[in-house]
Amino acid sequence: MTRKLLKVALLQETHRGSRDANLDAIETGLREAAAAGAELVLLQELHNGPYFCQHESVNEFDLAESIPGHSTARIGKLAEEMKLVVVASLFEKRAAGLYHNTAVVFDRSTNIAGKYRKMHIPDDPAFYEKFYFTPGDLGFDPIDTSVGRLGVLVCWDQWYPEAARLMALAGAELLLYPTAIGWDPNDGQAEKDRQRDAWITVQRGHAVANGVPLLSCNRTGFEADPSGVGAGIQFWGSSFVAGPQGEFLGQAGTDGRQLLVVEIDMARSEHVRRIWPFLRDRRIDAYGDLLRRFRD
């Protein structure tokens, strides 16, 4: 990459009640980001609707859409109009009975520059994603854009150092995570603090270990469990940008919609990797057991 400074924006949003209302809010955010001089905008995970994975219901598959489709056409048109690189996150209907959690990248154009299908799929109370999403089959391949090579991953992927490393080894210059994560309202404050701190810490670690900046955009606001069984989720926002040493370059609050605009010095990655040459010192001859589930 020859550029030095890159201004990015993270649009931390709440669910507005419908796909079109959410897309209207995204349009407003993209226009604000462009007016602020941003060139790259990251949106939150599954931004078109509620986080429906709190329960298992076949009716929720009606929220899925094709790629390309209605949403990609609208977001792509905005990316072209405002000359933005946009990372979107959609519930993809690939075929009847085959669905993915998919990130889509636009490079200042209506054309899709690339996409990534979420590889790690959780199945936990209030996060029943295995019912809805087939694990990704596109691998850990960065997407080339006019602002650099983007290592796009999605939410649960952010807990896995292997995913970040593979993106970095393939030449990713930025790591980006559209995210939907929050608290169980029944948990005590100490547990809530530990969970949020762990989420932030592990991602900062990926930035450090790979010597690249990292962007993580989370949703915010309370969303009830549609089944009425669970307590719902209070999404904790806290979207942030970290530099290649894990340093905070910007962070949003826990509550409420926020457009976080941050300037990244892209030249620092080269400097950091020279003083901390983790890629040089990797013992690739000794890592074979990483391909095992567990060493019994």
Measure the CA–CA gap between 278 and 272, rounded to whole angstroms: 10
Catalytic residue (one of 93, 115, 155, 223): 155
CA nearest neighbour of 223 among 42, 12, 72, 50:
50
Tell me the backbone φ, ψ of residue 73, rounded to 5 degrees: -65, -45
Specify burial of residue 240 (Cβ count, 10 A radius: 0-12, 13-18, 19+).
Answer: buried
Spatial CB neighbours of 173, under 8 Å, sequence gap ≥ 6: 1, 142, 148, 149, 150, 151, 212, 213, 266, 269
Respond yes or no on whether the N-terminal peptide bond of residue 122 is cis (omega within 30° of 0).
Answer: no
CA nearest neighbour of 173 among 262, 267, 106, 79:
267
Active site residue 118: yes
Q: How many helices (H) and strands (E) does the chain have?
A: 5, 17
DSSP state, 141? Answer: -
Catalytic residue (one of 13, 39, 45, 173): 45
CA dihedral sign of residues 62, 60, 100, 42: positive
Active site residue 155: yes
Q: Let me know the angle formed at the C-alpha of 223 by 60 and 235, rounded to the nearest 5 degrees.
A: 115
Catalytic residue (one of 39, 92, 93, 118): 118
Catalytic residues: 45, 118, 155
